[in-house]
Amino acid sequence: MYLHDYLNKIMRVWNAYEGQAVARFLSLQDFHVNEPNLYKENPDAAVSRQLPSPLDEIVSAHLKAVYHLMRSDAPNYTEAYRHQTSCIQAVVKLLQQMKEENWILPIMYVVSIDLRLLATKCEQQTKSSKCGEILEKAAESLMSCFRVCAGDTRSSDEDTKRLGMLNLVNQLLKVYFRINKLHLCKPLIRAIDSSNFKDSFTLAQRITYKYFAGRKAMYDSDFKNAEEYLSFAFDNCPRRFTKNKRLILIYLTPVKMLLGYMPRKEVLERYNVLQFHDLASAVKEGNVRRFDEAIRRHEMFFINAGVYLIVEKMKILTYRNLFKKVHQTLQTHQIDMNAFQTALQFSGAEDVSMDETHCIVANLIYEGRIKGYISYQHNKLVISKQNAFPSVVAA
């Protein structure tokens, strides 16, 4: 395909208002990038003769990015990224010019995705002085598009560019998670959750959004919202996407466990996350030694998944279940603190002191896991005669 033919095809689908077709001609994943006749270092003059502005700027920047990616010697990701940034700046101009029209949104989608992927490549290959600097710059470009879409309040519901917000938010969430700037996610999540179009976005986009919003809620210790977001993502993700369902389950499982719902072994087995099975068994048994061993054994898995600190929080549930067994054994509502210390030592915390025992019990009372108070004068835990150990689900 020659440059003239390529530009003619773009003009034809542009005049037909076929956003998806135009987007394909501007995607770095499309087959046209393998056409050597399109590798032009300076295509500006030829492009501006055949295409209107600012479409000509978008196409020129795209072709320059293709040229630097498909060079015979080696891809120059830095130059390709620079031209892709120019491409998205021209897309912003296009969005601003085409008022009360949203058929061009697919163009914004492909250019945004390619910008993020190129920025990621540059991060991997460039020894930047500041890690995440290139991706952060890419996020600023994506935010320019987001502002235009979010500000389109005058168009009708069918033609509004606000329908493109979620696609951009998902790109931004991926960037912010990668560069570990999670505080920047909050306004984006608030914007989507308060949007009138939150149920109008495609299911695939909503699943991606709920996955990231759920992870953010989990890191904020907002486990009920995290469970709601991640459950939606897991339940609606098609079964054939096993890898994606597994990713969601890695975060959904510890969240559900902290809310008192223990996972079934067959589900964990199906998605190859049996690391949580040993943990769940230890928590249910109130077996501190087995809990510590499970954490140690699967430490690298939990760290790499980013759930190590979340998993550590389950230890308080293990203590709660252990102390409930002490209560069931002694059958009294005034329990000597020595009994708890002995139970802890027997369960694996051999060097636990009385002060540490007091501290563990006090935390359980504070979190509502035990109803009662510590009598320091008599060194006893005085528990409620009714429902002294509230259900973990209700706590």
Q: Where are the domains of the chain?
A: 1-179, 318-383
Q: What's the pLDDT at 153?
A: 86
Q: What's the pLDDT at 130?
A: 75
Q: Is residue 239's pLDDT more than 50?
A: yes
* pLDDT tier, 128 (very low <50, low <70, confident <90, very high otherwise): low
State pLDDT tens for residues 246-295.
Answer: 999 999 999 999 998 999 999 999 999 999 999 999 999 999 999 999 99
Q: What's the pLDDT at 231?
A: 96
The reported pTM is: 0.88
State pLDDT tens for residues 76-103.
Answer: 999 999 999 999 999 999 999 988 889 9
Look at domain 318-383 and name its CATH class: mainly alpha
- Nearest CA to 54 out of 10, 87, 13 is that of 87
Q: Quote the CA–CA distance of 211 and 249 in Å, as a whole number.
A: 10
Q: What's the pLDDT at 395?
A: 46
Mean pLDDT of the residues in the chain: 91
Q: What's the pLDDT at 165?
A: 94
Please compute the mean of the pLDDT values over residues 327-338 and round it to a whole number: 90
Q: Is residue 375's pLDDT more than 60?
A: yes
For residue 335, give every residue at least 6 positions away whose Cβ sits within 8 Å of its Cβ, in sequence order, or none.
326, 327, 380, 381, 383
Which tokens is 299 given?
């430490």
Q: Quote the CA–CA distance of 324 and 369 in Å, as a whole number.
A: 10
Please compute the mean of the pLDDT values over residues 359-382 and round it to a whole number: 91
- State the CB neighbour count (10 A cutoff) for residue 262: 17
